[in-house]
Structure 1
Amino acid sequence: MKRIALLTSGGDAPGMNAAIRAVVRTAYHFDCEVLGIRHGYQGLLQDDIIPLTPSSVGDIIQRGGTILLTARCDAFKTDEGLAQGVATLRREGVEGLVVIGGDGSFRGACALAQHGIRTIGIPGTIDNDIPGTDETVGFDTALNTAVEAIDRIRDTASSHDRTYVVEVMGHHSGAIALAVGMAAGAASIMIPEEEPDLERVLRQLNQAAARGKKHPIVLVAEGAAHAMEVGGFLKDHIASEVRVTVLGHIQRGGAPSARDRILGSLYGTQAVHLLLEGRTNQMVGMRCGRVEAISFDEVFSSVHQTNLSLHTIADILAV
């Protein structure tokens, strides 16, 4: 294999640049050229392709986001768009493709694999919701960003005896909310895997008030409930002042943590090795501390399981 390509797709995640760097430098170590496709699959359809060299990926491991830029592309989901993408890769002499992203990105990679393009995926999403892997690139940084923000919110909450409702990301997965809630000592956590129960939240806040806590934090995953509605309900049922904060996209930005830099580096290196071995239609992932290859078929046929035992533990520790 003499030439591979690389793209990032979907939502950005801290650590993507570490993975890009690892793919490029590992490939060049084995005398393999790398092309970077900018703006994901959209760039593939628009021939937005640049050469990547070991020097061009210098000084990026500490940067958030992705130097290749990213986008979502509905046109690539059509038969015509897929055929155009395959034709572009073949015209460029690309023998293998590394796709960094989440579920939608991997489905595009799988479609290319079915048309003869060798593809390997690297899970890059702050939601940590990809089946088959214990960790995705970007999750650890998002946790640390959210925890730091909540620590700051707690300072002002304690100064004013306020209750804060804080919304974090997670449309379909409560992984961020559970981990952040435990790390930040939230009094109550709402996740999309469970039916919203405002009465339960109220009971937990009353328990916290009964033991003298005057500045509790209620953590809400965006897919579980609307933070403003939760805040409105609490204003009508508790005595303390209630404020609402939506952390939003600050969870995606910022320098990646050491863990995400290492994870991106490990995944990027392994992705190149898999391509050079002739592997395709697989994702690199972490299982029980080991970097492994997982087939896209397994990824798509499985359902991500959020560790709900964390919710039970967090509730015990919050009382």
Structure 2
Amino acid sequence: MNTIGVLTSGGDAPGMNAAIRAVVRTSIYNNLRIMGIKQGYNGLINGNIYEMNISSVADIIHRGGTMLKTARCDEFTTEAGREKAMTVLKVFGIDGLVVIGGNGSLKGARELSKLGFPTIGIPGTIDNDLGYTDFTIGFDTAINTVIDAIGKIRDTSTSHGRANIIEVMGRHCGDIALYSGLAGGAESIIVPEEGFHIEEVCKRLIQSKNRGKLHSIILLAEGVGNIGNAYELGDEIQKYTDIDTRVTILGHLQRGGSPTAFDRIIASKMGAKAVEILMEGKTSRALGIKSNKVFDMDIEEALSVENKFDTETYELTKILSI
């Protein structure tokens, strides 16, 4: 192992830069060359690659997004595209690859491993939708961004006596809504993993209003598919309760911002661990964190682990929001 490549793929997540920094500096510390691959698998196929040094990653640990950029790449999903990527890796003399990204990115790492190329996956996605690890890089920052938004929306909501629906990201995983809703004191949390009854939401709103509460916060995960959009839900709630209801869709605001200390720490640990694993001659491994410890496991096995929803925490939110 003489030269390592690193790329970020899929949606960006706060903490990716911290992971890149750790990969680069751990490589250099161990007298390895490190090549940065820009724009994910698309950049890999097109040879958008350059050699990095210590200064390449100076002053990035606190920055959101990814300095290596990211892009979707349909070509990489084809056999021909992956063969082209293998050729590019050989041309640039890269002996091992670190891939930072979500589910799709780790699947790409798995495919390169199947072709015999040493590849390690680091989970970087705000969705926290990979079941094999407790947390993914970027998730903690995203929920703190949502909590900050809840506080601001609560201020104006209280002034006008309104209910506010806040739609958050997460694809088909309700973790952002669940954890930010618990920490932000939401009255109702609507997630794709649990059944939704508008009557229950309306009942909670009316009960809160009757006991003198001046505002209500409803957290809605974007992956809930049986209620229409957030604005249609708001119209329905207002019709049933006669409570002025407004909608805020946070969107890509949740992807940006300076990563939290937690995200910087786990990203740094995983980035360093990825280099160590490659130096040991391992391949087709996915990194994760459980009980505050970084571990690695077979990437095929990791991707097959079901992402189980935290029903215990969900039930707790119901108890605490009475």
TM-score after normalising by structure 2: 0.97
C-alpha distance after superposition, 1:135-182 (max 9, x if no partner)? 110001001101001100000000110110110012211100000100
Aligned-residue CA RMSD in angstroms?
Answer: 0.9
Amino acid at match of 2:85: G
Q: Among 251, 254, 263, which residue is 2:254 paired with?
A: 251
What is the match of residue 186 of structure 2? 186
Unpaired stretches in structure 2, ≥5 consecutive residues: none
Q: Within 5 A, what are the aligned runs for 1:288-299?
A: 288-299=291-302
Residue 156 of structure 1: SS of its match in structure 2? helix
1:285 aligns with 2:297: no
User: Which residue of structure 2 aligns with residue 74 of structure 1?
Assistant: 74
Q: Deviations over 1:231-250 (max 9, x none)?
A: 01111011221110001000
Work out the CA distance in 1 between the residues paired with 2:243 and 2:204. 14
Look up the match of 1:304.
307
Match of 2:86 in 1: 86
Tell me, in whole angstroms, the C-alpha distance in 2 between the residues paired with 1:299 and 1:201: 36
- Which residue is equivalent to 1:136? 136
Q: Distance in 2 between matches of 1:197 and 1:240?
A: 18
Deviation at 1:210, TM superposition (A): 2.8
Give the match for residue 108 of structure 1: 108
1:200 and 1:161 map into 2 onto residues whose CA distance is: 20
Q: What is the rounded CA distance, in whole Å, between the counterparts of 1:252 and 1:173 in structure 2?
A: 15
Shift of 1:196: 2.7
Map 1:122-271 onto structure 2 (within 5 A). 122-224=122-224, 225=227, 226-271=229-274
% identity of equivalent residues: 49
Aligned residue identity for 1:160? H
List per-residue Cα deviations over 1:226-266 (Å, max 9, x = no partner): 21121011110112211100010000001111111111101
Cross-structure match for 2:15: 15
Aligned: 1:29 with 2:29: yes
Deviation, structure 1 residue 277: 0.6
Aligned residue pairs, count: 319
Output the TM-score relative to the length of structure 1: 0.98
Q: What is the CA–CA distance in structure 1 between the aligned matches of 2:283 and 2:157, rounded to whole Å?
A: 51
Shift of 1:183: 0.6
**Paired residues of 1:9 and 1:101 also in contact (CA < 8 A):** yes
Q: Is contact 1:171–1:192 with CA below 8 Å preserved after alignment?
A: no
The amino acid across from 2:24 in the alignment is: V
Q: Distance in 2 between matches of 1:39 and 1:65?
A: 12
- Aligned 1:22-61 pairs, distance under 5 A: 22-61=22-61
2:273 maps to a residue whose letter is: Q
| Residues 132-141 or 204-213, more deviating | 204-213
- How many Å separate the matches in 2 of 1:131 and 1:32? 32
Asked if structure 1 preserves the Cα contact closer than 8 Å seen for 2:237 and 2:243, the reply is: no
Contact 2:168 2:176 in 1 (8 A): yes
Q: Distance in 2 between matches of 1:53 and 1:192?
A: 44
For 1:155 and 1:146, locate their aligned partners in 2 and report how far apart those are by CA, in whole Å: 14
Q: Which moved more, 1:187-196 or 1:119-128?
A: 187-196
Q: 2: CA distance between counterparts of 1:12 and 1:27?
A: 23
Equivalent-residue separation in structure 2 for 1:203 and 1:53 (angstroms): 59
Q: Find the aligned partners of 2:53 and 2:121 in 1 and give their Cα distance.
A: 20
Alignment check: 8 A CA contact 1:164 1:216 kept:
yes
Question: Aligned partners of 2:199, 2:96: CA distance in 1, in Å?
Answer: 53
CA shift, 1:211, in A, is: 2.2
Contact preservation (8 Å) 1:23, 1:268: yes
Cα distance in 1 for residues equivalent to 2:316 and 2:195: 18
Where 2:136 maps in the other structure, the secondary structure is coil
